[in-house]
Amino acid sequence: MPEYKYHELGDLAKEAPKLFGIPTGTKLDEMFFKIEEEDGALVKKPLGGLPYLSVFNISGIPDTGKSLFAEQFAAYQASKGYKVLFVTVESPANFLYSAIKEKCKALSLDFDEVEKNIVVIDASEEEELRENPKALMETMAYAIKEKKITNVIIDSITGLYEHKEVMARQIVRQFFNFLKKWRQTGLFVSQKRSAQASESVEAAGGLAVAHIVDGTIVVDKKLIMSQREASLYKKPIGDVIRLIRIDGCRLSGHDSRTWVFEITELGIVNIIAPLAEYIRR
Amino acid sequence: MEIITKAKGGNVDEMAEKVFMESIRILGGLKKLVEYRNLTWLPSLAEAAYVIVLRNETIKTYREIAETLGITEQTAKNIATADEEKVKSYIMEGGERPNEHIAGGIAKLAYKTLKQKGELEKIEIKEEEVEALGIDWAVHVLAAIKGMDFPAEKEALKERLHEMKIMGKDAEEILEKIEYPVKSPAELLHKIKEKLHD
């Protein structure tokens, strides 16, 4: 008789990950929460970051701050002494180095500490790493094992299936499972075609990849082109308003509102306020 | 910030063994080493093979390599940075001994040769994969004819392969159909394969 693997729910208690946040260094950290009992009442407590061991997509059209967010997360975690693996598929590693160095200056983070704690896999220039998921995963496994990595960023996951989009789900699934197996908190940068509306399912990564990951952060921008929009958003015509929202999270509670954020001149993601509040100001 | 630009992975021990064997081949084979009483080189070669594989195929630092192998960091560095061309001309043409780690240079030459031929990462097919591919019969045939003299005749082969089934067919039946003598184990597999597809 074949042997089937099953668990009694109670047996999984020891294996279940603890629920706490991995800070990103942005206000997003306050947008995830958990429910705790306090004096007999249930209260909502901020998680303080992305849920530990979760794998998130950050999705958006070009120039919406996806990579900036990912770099900020990497720098922030590394500055706290946590080892980060940054798989760069788009930008060559030397450019990433400069970007993170600048970010540290702007955020007053200790670059020496950050530099020590980030390991980069440069798949942007090495075809084998970009085209062969198995080779990339083996390389990542080495880095995770030998450098004691706890957080993994892939910028971008889309770059691993460009020109073969039918493979999208399969590739995302493989990397998702890989990060789960190696007990990593992960962030996938996912590029969205500009033709896909921000409220559509494609906004969350396209091709149903959002169903695979634990949750999606959607970033978007809107060019202010009418007087009405100008007075609504209190910005001059021609300016850009940037929006961010958490589009589902299966590991913890989360703020489901759309928030306004800015990218400062120094390339820092600064989340300001919920859109509704921002308009009322 | 450590930057990894090449794919890493594979079995380090297996790769180091291959580099070690190739290093011996470069030196003219084990027999030459025995003849010239140079067997004392073997430990250095083994060590160098490991350093080169760990340095190129994993993302270990010199310090980590040194700790893994129980050598000093400086030795690991000397091995990995040995000028293989200088070592090569010293081995081939003699002359003044270069100020390089000789075993390191040889291991580097061996590593490069294997890498170029694509033999370092050659995938060893595992048993279950062999079965999944439907080519496990070849393994069983090779095991059954181990030690046989080739060219081989029908009777000798039948003796070894009797009662064996190859993809559902009787081996003896297949052996009836092929031409003799069979020159080598490879030719035997080839001929069996032809008959399987007939």
| All domains in chain A, ordered by first residue | 16-280 (3.40.50.300)
| Position with higher pLDDT, A73 vs B12 | A73
Percentage helix, strand, coil for chain A under 3-state DSSP, each rounded to 5:
40, 25, 35
Minimal Cα–Cα distance from A20 to chain B, Å? 28
Q: What's the confidence (pLDDT) of residue A204?
A: 47
Q: How many domains, in total, are found in chain B?
A: 2
Average the pLDDT over A59-82 and give the result.
Answer: 93
Domain assignment present for residue B171? The answer is yes
In this structure, are B20 and B105 located in the same domain? yes
* Chain B residue at shortest CA distance from A145: B59
Domain assignment present for residue B5? The answer is no
In this structure, are B46 and B76 located in the same domain? yes
In this structure, are B138 and B72 located in the same domain? no
Domain assignment present for residue B122? The answer is no
Q: What's the confidence (pLDDT) of residue B12?
A: 82
> Can you tell me the distance from the alpha carbon of A136 to that of A180, in angstroms, rounded to the nearest whole number?
16
In this structure, are B101 and B134 located in the same domain? no
User: CB–CB of A217/A247 below 8 Å?
Assistant: yes
Q: Does B63 touch chain A (CB under 8 A)?
A: no
Query: Which of the residues in chain B have pLDDT under 70?
Result: 6-10, 59, 121-135
pLDDT at A127 over 70: yes
Number of cross-chain residue pairs from A and B with Cβ atoms under 8 Å apart:
57
Minimal Cα–Cα distance from A168 to chain B, Å? 22
* Chain B residue at shortest CA distance from A86: B3
> Can you tell me the distance from the alpha carbon of A236 to that of A264, in angstroms, rounded to the nearest whole number?
17
Note the pLDDT tens digit of each residue in A150-193.
999 999 898 998 878 778 888 899 999 999 989 999 999 988 76
Percentage helix, strand, coil for chain B under 3-state DSSP, each rounded to 5:
65, 5, 35
Residues in chain B: 198
Q: Which of B133, B145, B126 is nearest to B189 (CA)?
A: B145
> Cα Rg for chain A, rounded, in angstroms?
19
In this structure, are B21 and B68 located in the same domain? yes
Domain assignment present for residue B2? The answer is no
**With an 8 Å Cβ cutoff, are A138 and B7 in contact?**
yes
**With an 8 Å Cβ cutoff, are A126 and B9 in contact?**
no
B118 contacts on A by Cβ (under 8 Å): none
Identify the band that residue A194 occupies on the pLDDT scale cut at 50, 70 and 90.
low
Average the pLDDT over A117-139 and give the result.
Answer: 88
pLDDT at A15 over 80: no
Q: What's the confidence (pLDDT) of residue A134?
A: 83
**A120, A135, A146 member nearest B7 (Cβ):** A135
Of B78, B93, B117, the residue at which a domain comes to its end is B117
Minimal Cα–Cα distance from B69 to chain A, Å? 15
Of B83, B117, B151, the residue at which a domain comes to its end is B117
**B1, B6, B59 member nearest A115 (Cβ):** B1
Of B117, B152, B179, the residue at which a domain comes to its end is B117
ipTM exceeds 0.90, yes or no: no
Q: What's the confidence (pLDDT) of residue B41?
A: 80
Q: What is the DSSP string of B89-144?
A: HHHHH--SPPSS-HHHHHHHHHHHHHHHHT-SSPPPPPHHHHHHTT-HHHHHHHHH
Q: Does B59 touch chain A (CB under 8 A)?
A: yes
> Can you tell me the distance from the alpha carbon of A12 to that of A112, in angstroms, rounded to the nearest whole number?
40
With 0-12 / 13-18 / 19 or more C-beta atoms within 10 angstroms meaning exposed / middle / buried, residue B116 is exposed
Domain assignment present for residue B185? The answer is yes
**A120, A138, A147 member nearest B3 (Cβ):** A120
CA A275 to chain centre: 21
Identify the band that residue A84 occupies on the pLDDT scale cut at 50, 70 and 90.
very high
A142 contacts on B by Cβ (under 8 Å): 8-9, 58-59
**B3, B6, B58 member nearest A146 (Cβ):** B58
Domain assignment present for residue B160? The answer is yes
Does the pTM surpass 0.90? The reply is: no
Q: If you ran DSSP here, which 8-state letter would residue B182 be given?
A: B
**Structural domain span for residue B99:** 12-117
A77 contacts on B by Cβ (under 8 Å): none
In this structure, are B70 and B160 located in the same domain? no
In this structure, are B132 and B111 located in the same domain? no
With 0-12 / 13-18 / 19 or more C-beta atoms within 10 angstroms meaning exposed / middle / buried, residue A239 is middle
Which residues, including other chains, have CB under 8 Å from residue A134's CB and lie 6 or more apart? none
In this structure, are B16 and B113 located in the same domain? yes
Q: What's the confidence (pLDDT) of residue A155?
A: 92
Domain assignment present for residue B44? The answer is yes
The secondary structure element, H or E, covering residue A115 is helix A111-117
* Chain A residue at shortest CA distance from B65: A146
In this structure, are B65 and B152 located in the same domain? no
Domain assignment present for residue B177? The answer is yes
User: CB–CB of A247/A218 below 8 Å?
Assistant: yes
Q: What's the confidence (pLDDT) of residue A199?
A: 56
Mean pLDDT score of chain A, rounded to an integer?
88
In this structure, are B72 and B103 located in the same domain? yes
**A100, A122, A138 member nearest B8 (Cβ):** A138
In this structure, are B64 and B152 located in the same domain? no
In this structure, are B140 and B106 located in the same domain? no
Q: Which of A197, A165, A204 is nearest to A56 (CA)?
A: A204
Q: What's the confidence (pLDDT) of residue A263?
A: 94
Average the pLDDT over A31-43 and give the result.
Answer: 87
pLDDT at A68 over 60: yes
